[in-house]
Amino acid sequence: MTLHIVSKSPYTSSALKECLGAFASGDALLLIEDGTYVLRHPALETLQSAEIYCLEADAAARGQQQLAATMDRVEMINDARWVQLCTEHQPIVSWFR
């Protein structure tokens, strides 16, 4: 199962669209940097059964932390958990265009 890491806003980049095109059952999504703006994007609803993670520090820096806290499907994580996710998933794909 793949860990997809989205680091760009869905409003200024095609990273999320490309990620969703490659997403398969059992894959996980990690939102970092400007990718935390995906929390406000309707495309997130297409991942009903996916594990979704969001880097807490990046969400807080962009004013998204409160929104993320209200989303049951999104797990807020720290850097240590990010490292753990990287050891649990293969391959790891970063989406940043």
- What is the rounded distance in angstroms from the CA atom of residue 2 to the CA atom of residue 14? 19
The ranges assigned to domains in the chain are 3-95
DSSP codes joined into one string, 52-66: EEEEHHHHHHTT-HH
Q: What is the pTM of this model?
A: 0.94
SS3 9: coil
Do residues 30 and 85 touch, judged by C-beta distance below 8 A? yes
CATH of 3-95 among 3.30.930.10, 3.40.1260.10, 1.10.760.10, 3.40.50.300 = 3.40.1260.10
If you average pLDDT over every residue of the chain, what do you get? Answer: 94
Q: pLDDT tens, 68-93?
A: 778 888 999 999 999 999 999 999 99
Question: 49: closest CA among 29, 70, 33?
Answer: 29
